[in-house]
């Protein structure tokens, strides 16, 4: 049983849930801090309950999306030497199990949305549709990187709505920032599969532009992320920890790009997994401090 659980967690890359979760939590804290005309925090018990269900919703959504991606890409995973050891390819997990797991994970998302508020519940099918759409975008557009980014980028918007039950235009800034961040590092990651994508007819920016120019695109996307975070911090009048956090994120992104060179992709995993995990956690720490301890 434990081995099967580990296999499932590996299939969905559960540890990578940390990528988008901190941005959703920051959005939830911003929503809670600005609730009401004069600002101020809601009851601690209520906020804790909402935050727990936001985490559950995100885990359910990401688990469903990742499993659907593995189902949709099973044919390509069998052909790609980099992915030939994945659980569905080797038979460690069956396609039937993957479908059931996808349905259960989707149900977890809907349950969490129902616990949060009616608007989140009504929007949950749209979120699932977008998450599932991504798995097929590589077949017809090189902009699949931005679709993946949007899949994670909607999480702060959803978290804000979960707390407030309404929309705020400023969450579009955080949505766009996360979208560009994810798209940028997905472009880096896709550089590994340039030859394979050409061989089987899949689309990506590296396949179209080549590795060298794709690295430039990734840098530009991440510059856009930093500019959006600056705009967001200014729009909420956040205190100095938020601005320090932007500097830290910019520095880590700069280091991430130093790890990947056109003639050396050996450190892609360090850039993709390790560095982006640090970026997410540090963003939460700095911006969480700014929201919790700054002025309303």
Average pLDDT, the chain: 90
Place of tokens 């979960």: 162
Helix, strand, coil percentages in the chain from 3-state DSSP, rounded to 5: 80, 0, 20
Model confidence at 37, pLDDT cuts 50, 70, 90, reads very low
Stretch 58-70: mean pLDDT: 93
- The string of pLDDT tens digits covering residues 88-124 is 998 888 999 999 999 999 999 999 999 999 999 999 9
- The string of pLDDT tens digits covering residues 150-203 is 999 999 999 999 999 999 999 999 999 999 999 999 999 999 999 999 999 999
Structure tokens at 16: 């990578």
Q: Are 8 and 64 in contact (CB under 8 A)?
A: no
* Radius of gyration of the chain measured on its C-alpha atoms: 19
Q: Which domain holds residue 158?
A: 2-293
CB atoms within 10 A of CB 147: 21
- The string of pLDDT tens digits covering residues 200-251 is 999 999 999 999 999 999 999 999 999 999 999 999 999 999 999 999 999 9
Number of domains in the chain: 1
Structure tokens at 84: 């030939």
> What string of DSSP letters covers 10-53?
HHTTGGGGGTTHHHHHHHHHHHHHT-STT-----HHHHHHHHHH
Residue 126 sits in a domain of what CATH number? Answer: 1.10.357.140
């Amino acid at each position: 049983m434990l081995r099967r659980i580990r296999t499932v967690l590996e299939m969905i890359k559960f540890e990578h849930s940390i990528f988008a979760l901190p941005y959703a939590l920051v959005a939830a804290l911003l929503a809670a801090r600005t609730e009401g005309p004069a600002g101020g925090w809601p009851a601690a018990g209520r906020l804790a309950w909402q935050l727990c269900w936001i985490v559950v919703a995100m885990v359910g959504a990401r688990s469903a999306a990742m499993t659907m991606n593995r189902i949709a890409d099973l044919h390509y995973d069998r052909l790609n030497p980099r992915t030939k050891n994945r659980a569905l390819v080797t038979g460690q997990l069956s396609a039937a199990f993957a479908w059931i797991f996808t349905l259960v994970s989707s149900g977890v998302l809907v349950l969490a949305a129902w616990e949060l508020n009616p608007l989140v519940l009504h929007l949950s099918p749209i979120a699932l549709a977008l998450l599932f759409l991504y798995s097929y975008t590589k077949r017809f557009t090189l902009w699949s990187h931005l679709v993946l980014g949007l899949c994670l980028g909607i999480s702060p918007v959803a978290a804000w709505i979960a707390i407030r039950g309404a929309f705020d235009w400023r969450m579009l800034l955080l949505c766009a920032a996360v979208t560009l961040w994810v798209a940028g590092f997905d472009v880096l990651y896709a550089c590994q599969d340039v030859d394979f994508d050409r061989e089987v007819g899949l689309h990506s920016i590296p396949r179209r532009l080549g590795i060298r120019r794709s690295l430039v695109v990734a840098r530009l996307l991440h510059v856009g992320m930093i500019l959006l975070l600056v705009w967001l911090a200014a729009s909420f009048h956040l205190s100095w920890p938020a601005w320090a956090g932007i500097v830290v994120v910019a520095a880590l992104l700069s280091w991430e790009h130093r790890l990947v060179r056109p003639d050396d992709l050996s450190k892609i995993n360090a850039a993709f997994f390790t560095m982006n995990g640090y970026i997410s956690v540090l963003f939460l720490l700095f911006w969480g401090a700014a929201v919790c301890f700054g002025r309303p």
